[in-house]
Structure 1
Amino acid sequence: MESSKNNLYETDRYQWIEQQKQKFRNGQYDQLDIENLFGEIESMGNELGTLEHRLTTLILHLLKYDYQTKVLNPVQAEPYDCRDWLGTIDRTRLAIQKLVKKNPHIKPQIEEQLSEAYPDAKTLAIEAMNRYVQTHQRLNSSSFPKTCPWSYEQIMEGNWLP
Structure 2
Amino acid sequence: MTNTPVTTLYEQDFYLWLEQTAELLKTGKFEKLDVANLIEEIETMGRSEKKSIESNLEMILVHLLKYKYQPNKRSNSWRVTLLEHRQRLSRDFRNSPSLKRHFLETFAHCYQGARKMASVETEITIATFSLECPFTAEQVLDEDFLPE
Establish whether TM, by shorter chain, passes 0.5.
Answer: yes
Q: 1:151 aligns with which of 108, 111, 136?
A: 136
Is the 8 Å Cα contact of residues 52 and 116 (structure 1) preserved in structure 2? Answer: no
Give the Å deviation of 1:39: 4.1
Which of 8, 22, 26 aligns to 1:3? It is 26
The AA in structure 1 aligned to 2:26 is: S
Q: Amino acid of the residue matched to residue 64 of structure 2?
A: L
Q: How does 1:61-140 map to 2 (within 5 A)?
A: 61-69=63-71, 73=72, 79=73, 81-130=74-123, 139-140=124-125
User: Could you tell me whether the CA contact under 8 Å between 1:51 and 1:113 is conserved in 2?
Assistant: no
Of 44, 47, 61, the match for 1:45: 47
> RMSD between aligned alpha carbons?
2.6
Deviations 1:66-114 (A, max 9, x none): 0112xxx3xxxxx5x4221111000010011111222222222212221
Other-structure match for 1:58: 60
Residue 52 (structure 1) shift: 0.6
Runs of at least 5 residues in structure 1 that lack an aligned partner in the other structure: 6-28, 74-78, 131-138
Q: TM-score, normalised by structure 2?
A: 0.69
CA change 1:158–1:4 in 2 (3 A) is farther
CA distance in 1, matches of 2:77, 2:56: 16
> Normalized against structure 1, the TM-score is what?
0.64
Change (3 A) 1:4 1:63: farther
Match of 1:151, as an amino acid?
A: T
For residue 133 of structure 2, give the secondary structure of its aligned residue in structure 1: coil
* Count of aligned residue pairs for this structure pair: 121
Q: CA distance change for structure 1 residues 160 and 4 in 2, over 3 Å: closer, same or farther?
A: farther
Return the alpha-carbon distance in structure 2 between the equivalents of residues 141 and 126 of structure 1. 5
| Identity %, equivalent residues | 23
Task: Point out where structure 2 has 5 or more consecutive residues left out of the alignment.
Answer: 1-23
Provide the rounded CA distance (Å) in 1 between the counterparts of 2:75 and 2:128.
Answer: 19
Choose 56-65 or 104-113, whichever is displaced more. Answer: 104-113
Q: Kindly tell me: are residues 100 and 36 of structure 1, through their superposed partners in 2, closer, same or farther at Cα, counting changes over 3 Å?
A: farther
